[in-house]
Structure 1
Amino acid sequence: MAVPADVIAKIEAGYKKLQEAPECKSLLKKYLTKKVMDQCKGLKTELGATLLDVIQSGVANLDSGVGVYAPDAESYKKFAALFDPIINDYHGGFGPSAKHPATYFGEDKLSELQDLDPEGKYILSTRYPFNPCLSKDDYLSMQSKIQNVFAGLKSDSELGGTYYPLERMTKETQNKLIANHFLFKEGDRFLKEANANRFWPTGRGIFHNAKKTFVVWVNEEDHLRIISMQNGGNVGQVLGRLINGVKAIEAQVPFSRDDRLGYLTFCPSNLDMKLQIRGIHGEHSETKGGVYDISNKARLGLTEYDAVKQMYDGVKKLIELEKAV
């Protein structure tokens, strides 16, 4: 499958635009050298993704921090000459020979994650946390498959709940769920230029259990975002629920996992969890009333349990520091 001449021309124009923009400091500009561009511009994945699909958001948004997205799973290998150095740089040393460990949630260590804040003084809640190549029918097909999975959870007293498609949700309900941090909004300009917002809101939706402690976002930035959360600091209970939910879903819809990079995501920055502190409305938002959302930033090279334990230890230390004030 040859890459069309007009696509190659757009790739070359994008490279030129990046090089002529001194204000651009993205990892895309840093690692899209002439050699890398020439090596990748004629390549195409089996699903038809090209280098243009990878870089177009970063070319359109010169203030991007990373600037690349993976249109499909194969892109991480097909365009490795660009992705590998970006991943290594962003994640602080995860070179081409590095390999993500096998999946391990730490089911046998949940008892070690004691409640960090039994009196409820410091922790309000605990939470854990591909698109350009999808057709409208693909979105609907994926939504249908995951709805069947959710239907199978009905009898589960903890995970059972209801799925709400965005297409049939009133604006009032959407805004209320967004305000309460249960629902996602349409993607920003970076995702828009990466073609992540096509056919919106077709095939998108949210599932949650009765207590809203188990939430699944469908076809937001990635195919699924599975969230376990609750008030307080009982990390072990949150992780236990997440393990049960992930296993129940993956038993019917296997996830895309790479031997080297682990679970694959649309944006390479999400491959990785370092401790991350942000405002209560998400990344780049301001804090209100001294409340922060604390989560892992770096996860490459860590098992799922190690990442949770890293976050747990970090919060424990923050509480100790708060008590000392």
Structure 2
Amino acid sequence: MELKEFLAPASEVARRTGPQDRIVFSSRVRLARNLRGFAFPGWAKKPDRLQVYERVAAAVTGLPALQGCFCEALDRLSTLDKQLLVERHLISREHAAKSAGSGVVLNREETFCLMINEEDHLRMQSLRPGLQLREAWAELDALDTELESRLEYAFSPQWGYLTACPTNVGTGIRFSAMLHLPGLVLSEQINGVIQSVNKLGLAVRGLYGEGTEALGNVFQVSNQMTLGESEQTILEKIDKVLRQIIELEENARATLIEKNPKMVYNHIGRAYGILANAHIIASKEAMNMLSLMRLGVDLGMFPGVDRSLTDELFLLIQPAHLQLLHQEKLQAEERDILRADLIRNRLKTVSRPGPPLPAAGSGG
């Protein structure tokens, strides 16, 4: 089966809900593992990478939790397929650049995605909508335990699981959440929050991870330490920080509505005006405007409009999804025109925003 037939429609992805999903788009837990006796992917020769791929793919696809999964070598996927996976946050941009000997395994619900021969031989991920790190970790821990009975991992009694990058040695675990923080951005508190989070040993990155910018006021928060602390300790620490950030964002929204409602109304009204009337719009501008409109939906400024509308558009306006929609390769200029057409069409039945409702600034 082709990847585009296997992936859930963007409308279905946008309707997935979870705790605190006003602010938390998704939770992710990732484990880095390597096979004993094989060079790490960055050092391995092609025959070794192919052997690791075959061994890992066979073990992974035999797991009950991954029955009926999509499993394919990256060199058999098109550039569009790989970009679709990146835009869905299922694989990294670095993995998308890999070829022979690398692969991807994905379950139907898109709650498990495994990258074979990325930076490590195996990077398995559990994903959930909203703030569900505990649930994601429980599922991934069970998967890892079962897989460890089928594969011999590279493990040191002194250092723990061995990884290509020293920052992943130990547990090999990375907890992360993708947060929508327009209130902290508009109130100019975001830099202070990022600095405070960094001091706690956590990393704050942009929409597509390390080295990317925070398009659409979306930030990824994750742990940096994997050595010397248990998975449970790391989980408790990041969960506490994430809940504090959520509270700060809710308070920032409430304060903005109370003290400067016209500024909020102006930002969201202008965003709606651009989205509903533009005939050419780049993805970066569209993401930033949709972020503000999503805030408006949360604040009750678009009565009857569900948040899934903006979340679906977040996906559909990205380059690979736009090309998939039109079944053809598009130049940047063509995408900018078609993106604007798509947004205008989807907003035809959405009335312009009304004043923000004070009561909408609280809740989860």
TM-score of the aligned structures, taking structure 1 as reference length: 0.56
The runs of 5 or more residues in structure 2 that have no matched partner are 1-17, 31-39, 175-200, 253-364
Aligned to 2:181: none
Partner SS, residue 128 of structure 1: strand
Alignment of 1:173-252 (within 5 A): 173-186=81-94, 200-252=98-150
Aligned to 1:122: 23
Please, which of 224, 242, 249 is the counterpart of residue 315 of structure 1?
242
Please, which of 50, 53, 73 is the counterpart of residue 140 of structure 1?
50
Q: 1:160, CA displacement in angstroms? A: 5.3
Tell me the distance in 1 between the aligned counterparts of 2:56 and 2:41: 16
Aligned to 2:76: 168
Q: 1:283, CA displacement in angstroms? A: 0.7
Partner SS, residue 153 of structure 2: coil
AA in 2 matched with 1:300: L
Q: 1:258, CA displacement in angstroms? A: 1.6
Tell me the distance in 1 between the aligned counterparts of 2:218 and 2:115: 24
How many residues matched? 197
Tell me the distance in 1 between the aligned counterparts of 2:137 and 2:68: 17
Tell me the distance in 2 between the aligned counterparts of 1:321 and 1:294: 14
| Contact 2:115–2:123 (Cα < 8 Å) also in 1 | yes
Please, which of 201, 208, 219 is the counterpart of residue 292 of structure 1?
219
| Contact 1:207–1:215 (Cα < 8 Å) also in 2 | yes
Aligned to 1:280: 207
Matched, 1:256 2:154: yes
Tell me the distance in 1 between the aligned counterparts of 2:225 and 2:53: 29
AA in 2 matched with 1:122: I
Tell me the distance in 2 between the aligned counterparts of 1:295 and 1:304: 13
CA deviations over 1:117-167 (Å, ceiling 9, x no partner):
7352111100122235422211111111112112312x43x6751211111
Tell me the distance in 1 between the aligned counterparts of 2:130 and 2:160: 30
Partner SS, residue 289 of structure 1: helix
The runs of 5 or more residues in structure 1 that have no matched partner are 1-116, 189-196
TM-score of the aligned structures, taking structure 2 as reference length: 0.50
Partner SS, residue 167 of structure 1: helix
Partner SS, residue 118 of structure 1: coil
CA deviations over 1:233-255 (Å, ceiling 9, x no partner):
12221111111211122111122
AA in 2 matched with 1:291: V
Partner SS, residue 124 of structure 1: strand
CA deviations over 1:295-320 (Å, ceiling 9, x no partner):
10112111111111111111011112
| Contact 1:150–1:163 (Cα < 8 Å) also in 2 | no
Of Structure 1 and Structure 2, the greater helix share is in 2
| Contact 1:208–1:214 (Cα < 8 Å) also in 2 | yes
Cα distance change of structure 1 residues 167 and 276 upon mapping to structure 2, 3 Å threshold: same
| Contact 2:42–2:119 (Cα < 8 Å) also in 1 | no
